[in-house]
Amino acid sequence: MDALALPSLSRVRCNDTIVPGARALLRLDGVFEMTLGLLLATSPLTAFRAVQVLPTPASPPVVVGFGLLLIPVGFALWVAARGRGPKRSVVQALALVNGVGALIFALWVLIGHASFRSDAAILVLRIAVVLGALAAFQARAALAAR
């Protein structure tokens, strides 16, 4: 029966080291998220044309809501970059989220290309490229911290 006992949590060690250089990646990610959030949230006021013609499901209220959501996310990333730096698990999670976001945006344009205007498709694909690049750099940094 002792062989089935779980080890004490005090003896379990997690290899969650600080990732060197990840502070800059988190700050860059935070600035991108805040900038995109401000752009989307203020799109009805600025008449940003590419955002106004996004196809379903990106109605103007959804775009503004998404923008308002991105602003505190970006701020949280900026704050997370303070101190000693982010841990490997945080950087891995960000790489995964950014990679999935890039894939979703790219697939949205590729699958629904007939409903996209060219300026809107270019905007969404540029966002996908930035998210994909952030994901790649974050994944590389997390792997280097092993």
User: How sure is the predictor about 13, in pLDDT bands with cuts at 50, 70 and 90?
Assistant: very low
Of the two residues 118 and 84, the one the predictor is more confident about is 118
The model's pLDDT over 59-108, given as tens digits with 9 standing for 90+, comes to 889 999 999 999 999 999 999 888 788 889 999 999 999 999 999 999 99
What is the value of pTM for the model shown? 0.85
Per residue, what are the HEC states of 43-112? Answer: HHHHCCHHHHCCCCCCCHHHHHHHHHHHHHHHHHHHHHCCCCCCEHHHHHHHHHHHHHHHHHHHHHHHHC
The model's pLDDT over 23-46, given as tens digits with 9 standing for 90+, comes to 999 999 999 999 999 999 999 888
- Give the pLDDT of residue 21: 82
Contact indicator for 67, 41 with CB cutoff of 8 Å: yes
Contact indicator for 51, 36 with CB cutoff of 8 Å: no
- Give the pLDDT of residue 51: 78
- Which candidate, 78, 74, 96, 97, places its Cα nearest to that of 86? 78
Contact indicator for 37, 75 with CB cutoff of 8 Å: no
Taken as a whole, the chain contains a residue count of 146
Q: Which two tokens stand for residue 72?
A: 């505190």
Of the two residues 57 and 106, the one the predictor is more confident about is 106
